[in-house]
């Protein structure tokens, strides 16, 4: 069974690393969307561990739990995205640092450090490869469209 233990340990390691990465991301990043991604990442780490334990012990418990984790994650995503959207409506930002009204009375608000300049390579925005030809645009229509 040394192989079983060894295999278990491999997956535990991967799960642990995923959990740790998610934790780091959750604590360090400030974009609310990214923070929720990191929370999901932690759930993934846990899921991997559970599945590994389930295989090690040869029962369905781990997989069952992971199914429910999936369920809960879906719920969480729904609620979280709704909340994020609402907060975004209020502030126009996805910055979690904007929302700190729950601090103790009299506490100074957290103030950002100076934000470094954006680098050129960061400005690259994922784009779709253009396919086909560009549609001919009627300048008249373009003139009256409010958005793209």
Partner 1 sequence: MDSKLHLLMVLVPGLPLAAALLTALFGPRHLKAASHWPVILALAGSFAASIALLSEVKQRSAESAPQGGYEHVLALWTWMDLPDALSMDAAMAKASPEAAASATAAATGGSLLRDFRIDVTLRADPLTSTMLSMVTFISTLVAIFAAGYMKGERGYWRFFTYIALFVFSMTMLVSVSNFALLFVFWEAVGVCSYLLIGFWYPKPDAAAAGMKAFLVNRVGDFGFALALFLIWTTYGTLDFHDRAAVASIGNDTVAAASADVAGESASDRDRGPLGVVSPARIKANAYWGGGLGLAICLLLMLGACGKSAQFPLHVWLPDAMEGPTPVSALIHAATMVTAGVYMVTRCTPLFSASPEAQATVAVVGGVTALLAGLIALTQHDLKRVLAYSTVSQLGYMFLGLGTGSLLGIVAGMFHLFTHAFFKALLFLGSGSVMHAMGHVIDMRRFSGLRTLMPVTHATFLIGCLALAGVPPLSGFWSKDAIVASLHEQAHHWQEAGGGSHGSEASGHETAEGGSKPAAQAVVIPAANAPTLISAAALARLYQGLYLLALVVAFMTAFYTFRAFYLTFYGPERIPAEAGSHAHESPWSMCGPLAILAVLAAGIGGYLEWTHGFAHFVSLAPSLAGGPVLGTEKPGEFHLTVAATSTLVAAAGILLASYLYLGGKREVQWLSSKANLEELSSWMDVERVARWSKKPWIAGIHASAKRVGLGWLTAIIGNLLLFAALLITAPLALGHFVSPYRLSYRKFYWDEIYMATIVWPLQTLGIVLAWIDRWIVDGAVNLCGRLPTQLGSLMRSLQMGLVPFYGLAMLLGVLILMAAKLLWAGS
Partner 2 sequence: MTALFGEGPVWAAIPWNDLVASPLAWGVIAGAISLLLLIPGSSQRARTPGLIFAAASLVLFGLGLGRSESLGAQLSVWVLAALTVGSAGAAIAMRSAVYSAIWFAVSLLGTGGLFCLQNAQFLGVATVVVYAGAIVVTFLFVVMLAQPEGHDAYDRISWGPLAKPVVVGSSALLLGLVLGTVGPALGVIGGKPVAPAPAKTVAATTPASAAGSVPVAPAGSAKDSAPSTDAAPATAAAAPPARSAIDTIDNRGHMARLGSVLFSRHLIAVELGGTLLLAALVGAVAIVIQGRDERAKPGVGTGEERNHG
Residues near partner 1, by CB under 8 A: 23, 26-28, 30, 35, 96-97, 99-104, 106-107, 110
Which is closer to partner 1, CB of 65 or CB of 96?
Answer: 96
106: partner contacted, choices partner 2, partner 1, none (Cβ within 5-8 A by kind) = partner 1
From the list 21, 61, 28, the residue with the least C-alpha distance to 42 is 21
Q: Decide if residue 30 touches partner 2 (CB under 8 A).
A: yes
Nearer to partner 2, 72 or 136 (CB): 72
Q: Which does 70 bind (CB under 5 to 8 A by kind): partner 2, partner 1, none?
A: partner 2
Please list the residues that pair with 95 across neighbouring strands.
31
Tokens 């103790």, residue located = 104
Placement of tokens 């369905």 in the chain? 60
Rounded CA-CA distance 50/12 in Å is 9
Residue 22 touches which member of partner 2, partner 1, none, C-beta under 5-8 Å by kind: partner 2
Using the rule CB under 8 A, give the single segment among 4-12, 99-107, 133-141 that binds partner 2: 4-12
Q: 26 to each of 14, 19, 38, 43, 123, how far by Cα in Å? A: 18, 10, 5, 12, 23
Q: Which of 46, 57, 133, 135 binds partner 2 (CB under 8 A)?
A: 57
From CA 33, how far away is CA 38, in angstroms rounded? 9
Q: Which of residues 88-107 bind partner 2 (CB under 8 A)?
A: 88-95, 97
Query: What is the C-alpha R_g of the chain?
Result: 23
- Decide: is 117 part of the binding site for partner 2 (CB under 8 A): yes
């Amino acid at each position: 069974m040394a192989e079983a233990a060894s295999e278990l340990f491999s997956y535990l390691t991967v799960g642990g690393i995923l959990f740790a990465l998610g934790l780091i991301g959750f604590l360090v990043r400030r974009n609310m969307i990214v923070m929720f991604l990191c929370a999901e990442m932690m759930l993934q780490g846990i899921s991997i561990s559970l599945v590994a334990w389930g295989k090690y012990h040869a029962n369905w418990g781990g997989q069952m739990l992971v199914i429910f984790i999936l369920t809960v994650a879906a719920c969480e995503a729904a609620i979280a995205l709704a909340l994020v959207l609402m907060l975004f409506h209020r502030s126009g930002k996805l910055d979690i640092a904007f929302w700190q009204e729950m601090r103790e009375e009299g506490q100074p608000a957290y103030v950002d450090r100076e934000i470094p300049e954006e680098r050129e390579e960061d400005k690259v925005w994922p784009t779709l490869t253009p396919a086909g030809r560009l549609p001919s645009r009627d300048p008249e229509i373009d003139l009256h469209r409010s958005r793209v």
